[in-house]
Amino acid sequence: MPFSAIVGSGSALPGDPVTNDQLAQQLAQKGVETSDAWIRERTGICQRHIAPAEVSSSDLAAQAGARALEDAGLTAKDIDLVIVATSTPDMIFPSTACLVQKKLGIEQGAAFDLQAVCSGFVYALSTADLFIRMGKARNALVIGAEVFSRILDWNDRGTCVLFGDGAGAMVLQASEEPGILGHVLQARGEYENILRTAGTVSHGLAQGHPFLTMDGQAVFKLAVEVLESSAREVLSQARLTTDQVDWLIPHQANIRILQFTARRLGIPLDRVVVTVDQHGNTSAASVPLAFDQARRDGRLKAGQTVLMQGVGGGFTWGAVLARLTR
């Protein structure tokens, strides 16, 4: 049975960053009061990217995917599985993954979307690993892509300042040596109401509430709890300790969640990859975006052990432990 390893990564961010001051000025025109200080203090976010109307999730996903393929030294002909984690697909169907497959010129293999909100990329990477380990794929393109700006209520400062748009991608390849050391996926549907976008489309009309809603305190409390437990569980699978983790890459939701999680695991903050200040919360895109940035700036190196974690609506969470081969 083959193993799988991460052999390439890429990312895409739309347009110029929108700073907190710029966002505050835009919101003031709607009668919504906020400030750079208010946002930074509560979230650690300094800026985010917001996609223009003509840019879709599949556009960002294809850009990130193309860069990941180039990084891996592969072409469209090599890819036999495409998984896109997204909560903001271009359309009801076909899947965003099929649209990405078309845009990248991939003409073989399976393509499908996976929806686990902010845990989506961790779910997708785990799924691709299983496909490869079962011999059902050799080169998988795994992407997290979101345009969350489309589902935000811009009159609700408690949520609209938190999110950004973007995409991140990885290429997972069959390997004789293990690159993915373990993964843990969990969900508790009883908490579906604390973070959701409850609307749908029926008979040509939006039904229900079409914007994201969140119970921030409940999400914070549960997120810190499950991020710690999933980290310890996946490390136990690999018979490793937190001291053997070179880098923690958690979902980039809020700087305080990252700090609390690192403290509870005993991982120093200088071993935590933080991009929430630059990107905001990009949901399923946040982990691969952070991974790609840290890899390209030289922090991530071959031989290192990386713990990636997601937590989001559903309520879902998960962790993937990887040893880098490149």
Strand order in the sheet with 165-175: 3-12, 165-175, 139-147, 81-85, 110-114
In this prediction, residue 1 carries a pLDDT of 72
pLDDT tens digits, one per residue of 216-229: 999 999 999 999 99
The arrangement of secondary structure in 3-177, i.e. its CATH architecture, is 3-Layer(aba) Sandwich (3.40)
Q: Mean per-residue pLDDT for 230-259?
A: 98
Q: Mean per-residue pLDDT for 190-194?
A: 98
Q: Mean per-residue pLDDT for 68-74?
A: 98
Bridge-partner residues for 145, per DSSP? 167
Of 262, 119, 96, whose CA–CA distance to 195 is shortest? 119
Taking a C-beta distance cutoff of 8 angstroms, is the pair 4, 175 a contact?
A: yes
Of 4, 278, 292, whose CA–CA distance to 137 is shortest? 4
What pLDDT band is residue 147 in, cutting at 50, 70 and 90? very high
Contacts of 304 by beta carbon, 8 Å cutoff, 6+ apart: 246, 247, 323, 324
pLDDT tens digits, one per residue of 287-313: 999 999 999 999 999 999 999 999 999
In this prediction, residue 70 carries a pLDDT of 98
Instruction: Look up residue 240 and give its two tokens.
Output: 């490793």
Q: Please, what is the average pLDDT of the chain?
A: 97
Same fold, 3-177 and 181-323: yes
Distances (CA, A) of 3 to 139, 182, 194: 12, 11, 37
List the domain boundaries for the chain.
3-177, 181-323
Q: What are the catalytic residues?
A: 118, 251, 281
Round to whole Å and give the CA distance between 69 and 59: 15
pLDDT tens digits, one per residue of 151-184: 999 999 999 999 999 999 999 999 999 999 999 9
Class of domain 181-323: alpha beta
